[in-house]
A and B are shown apart, each in its own frame.
Chain A
């Protein structure tokens, strides 16, 4: 069963626009929510992560918004650039194995 549901499956954004990827989970025991970025032919790399004691975390152009009551979290990429084109995975864990969403393929057009 998919413990973390991610949407959309694919996303096309113009350069300078905002990319938004959403994830939802059911297990209230999850207490660590990372986002991974994967380029073709490479392994996923940690982009940004959040714990449920905060509602938002920002690192540069990347922001995670976390809604504990709704059991949802999202990634916002501000001022999206062509170099951001990649597959993005959300994940959640209780401190055990990471449970990944199915991924979002982001294309930022020039």
Chain B
């Protein structure tokens, strides 16, 4: 596809369950970002992957959150033992290089009930 693809678009899960969110970046983009957007709030940085470098995980809010990326392709964000405060839209973005446009996916809306 031409853009950043995220799946699922919506996810409702029970408190305490694990969830996995997927991001397919634009082909050839070396940088990949995950952000969290709570209702009516700004974008909260979670994690950043750049090529084969060690990811910047400084934004992950707790050890229940983890993310992986296979080379320069798909990334998965995993939230273990979900809590109600994890409810948010999780946005993935990719860019071709530093200081170039970051293209966002449409996000995964996660609702923890």
Residues of chain A lying within 8 A (CB to CB) of residue B65: none
Chain A binder among B69-77, B80-88, B96-104? B96-104
A89 touching B98, Cβ below 8 Å: no
Tell me the count of chain A residues lying within 8 A, CB to CB, of chain B: 24
A44 touching B99, Cβ below 8 Å: no
- Output the least CB separation between A43 and chain B (Å): 3
A46 touching B106, Cβ below 8 Å: no
The answer for the CA separation of A69 and B64 in the assembled complex, in Å, is: 41
A99 touching B45, Cβ below 8 Å: yes
A100 touching B59, Cβ below 8 Å: no
Residues of chain B lying within 8 A (CB to CB) of residue A45: 103-104
The answer for the CA separation of A54 and B41 in the assembled complex, in Å, is: 30
Q: B47's closest neighbor in chain A, by CB?
A: A97
Is B43 an interface residue when CB atoms closer than 8 A count as contact?
yes
A34 touching B42, Cβ below 8 Å: no
The answer for the CA separation of A98 and B45 in the assembled complex, in Å, is: 8
B45 touching A97, Cβ below 8 Å: yes
Residues of chain B lying within 8 A (CB to CB) of residue A101: 42
Question: Given A93-B99, A98-B33, A43–B107 Cβ distance below 8 Å?
Answer: yes
- Output the least CB separation between B3 and chain A (Å): 9
The answer for the CA separation of A12 and B102 in the assembled complex, in Å, is: 28
A103 touching B42, Cβ below 8 Å: yes
Is A42 an interface residue when CB atoms closer than 8 A count as contact?
yes
Residues of chain A lying within 8 A (CB to CB) of residue B98: 93, 95-96
5 A-B pairs whose Cβ atoms sit less than 8 Å apart in the complex: A43-B91, A43-B93, A45-B104, A98-B93, A103-B41
Q: Sort A-B residue pairs by CB-CB distance and give the 8 closest, nearest first.
A: A43-B104, A95-B98, A102-B42, A100-B43, A32-B99, A97-B48, A46-B101, A95-B99
- Chain A residues proximal to chain B, CB less than 8 Å: 6, 31-32, 34, 36, 41-46, 49, 51, 89, 93, 95-103
